[in-house]
């Protein structure tokens, strides 16, 4: 049995998979082989990589000869083939509720995190010196994200988009706060650490790393969840150095406060 993970240290979708692998007792470099994809060098668009993942994004998991894409699908797959400890509820109702949560995480905070990430770092770092035509040509190469690039400039996004992303992450924190209360905690579904805990944690980590940690103040149950998450061995294993953009791209990285000073938002 071989497990290969095509991933990137600082990619939030890769981190979701790494937390889940660690929960299953599968160690990086020992139980799974890592294939680092350098997003800054656009290796995700290499023809060889596109044969594995036609969407041109990480992660991709190759288990024996099976190529799997889409982090949420990979999470469910890992839980099926490595059933212990179980990360999905044993009953159908519980599993349907988990999947509803996972769809929400894919649709709301996962989408939100890209906006400040591109505004604070990725767009200025990769495209400041590119002309409009070069920037448009890059967008054109992307299998999935043409329209995402068309919404921004070489500097990333403007205030309206950032404000909406902040609203989305606050809404996610509020929903977790309520779920922890309703289900008895300490995790989102209650006592079981489930796939959605692994899926959503990297998104909060990225917002916090960028200096947006004040977006979830005044939510005590969320705060307890987040503290427990950061102390969890699987989370610590998944965030080996340099898994945060502040350390991976020290020279280019700007916090929310620095950007506010520069641009006014």
Ligand X SMILES: N[C@@H](CCC(=O)N[C@@H](CS)C(=O)NCC(=O)O)C(=O)O
Q: Which two tokens stand for residue 156?
A: 């990333």
Stretch that binds ligand X, among 56-64, 86-94, 95-103, 173-181 (CB under 6 A): 56-64
Would you call 145 helix, strand, or coil by DSSP? coil
Q: Comparing C-alpha atoms, which of 229, 183, 222, 166 is closest to residue 89?
A: 183
| Rounded CA separation 186/222 (Å) | 9
70 binds ligand X (CB under 6 A): yes
Would you say 23 or 76 has its CB closer to ligand X?
76
When asked if residue 13 is in the footprint of ligand X (CB under 6 A), the reply is yes
- Name the residue nearer to ligand X (CB basis): 91 or 241: 241
Closest C-alpha to 265, from 166, 153, 174: 166
Long-range contacts of 230-236 (CB under 8 A, 24+ apart): 232/193, 233/22, 234/19, 234/20, 234/22, 234/23, 234/198, 235/19, 235/22, 235/201
46 or 190: CB nearest ligand X: 46
Structural element, H or E, at residue 61: strand 60-63
Q: Which of residues 152-191 bind ligand X (CB under 6 A)?
A: none
Considering only the stretches 67-75, 155-163, 211-219, 230-238, report the one whose residues sit in contact with ligand X under the rule CB under 6 A.
Answer: 67-75
Assess 12 for contact with ligand X (CB under 6 A): yes
> Please, what is the minimum distance in Å from the beta carbon of residue 265 to ligand X?
22
Residue 246 half-sphere exposure toward CB, CA atoms < 13 A: 13
Residue 11 or 194 having the CB closest to ligand X:
11
Stretch that binds ligand X, among 54-62, 186-194, 203-211, 241-249 (CB under 6 A): 54-62
Residue nearest to ligand X (CB): 57
The number of residues that bind ligand X (CB under 6 A) is 11
Burial of 104 (0-12, 13-18, 19+ CB in 10 A): middle
When binding is defined by CB under 6 A, the residue of 57, 98, 112, 198 that contacts ligand X is 57
Rule CB under 6 A: which residues touch ligand X?
11-13, 39, 44, 57-59, 70-72
């Amino acid at each position: 049995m071989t497990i290969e993970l095509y991933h990137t240290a600082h990619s939030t979708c890769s981190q979701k998979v790494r937390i889940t692998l660690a929960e299953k007792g599968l160690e990086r470099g020992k139980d799974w082989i890592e294939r680092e994809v350098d997003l800054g060098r656009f290796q995700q668009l290499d023809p060889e990589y596109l044969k594995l993942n036609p969407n041109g994004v990480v992660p991709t998991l190759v288990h024996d000869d099976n190529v799997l894409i889409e982090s949420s699908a990979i999470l469910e797959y890992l839980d099926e083939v490595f059933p212990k400890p179980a990360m999905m509820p044993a009953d159908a109702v519980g599993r349907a509720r988990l999947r509803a949560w996972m769809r929400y995480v894919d649709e709301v905070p996962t989408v939100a995190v890209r906006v400040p990430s591109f505004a604070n770092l990725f767009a200025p770092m990769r495209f400041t010196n590119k002309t409009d035509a070069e920037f448009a040509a890059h967008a054109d190469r992307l299998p999935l994200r043409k329209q995402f690039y068309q919404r921004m400039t070489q500097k990333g996004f403007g205030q309206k988009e950032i404000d909406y992303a902040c609203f989305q992450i606050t809404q996610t924190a509020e929903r977790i706060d309520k779920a922890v209360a309703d289900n008895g905690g300490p995790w989102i579904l209650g006592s079981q650490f489930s796939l959605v805990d692994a899926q959503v944690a990297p998104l909060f980590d990225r917002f916090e790393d960028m200096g947006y940690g004040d977006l979830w103040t005044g939510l005590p149950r969320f705060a307890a969840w987040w503290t427990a998450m950061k102390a969890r061995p699987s989370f610590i294993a998944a965030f080996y150095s340099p898994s945060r953009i502040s350390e991976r791209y020290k020279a280019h990285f700007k916090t929310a406060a620095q950007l506010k000073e520069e641009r006014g938002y």
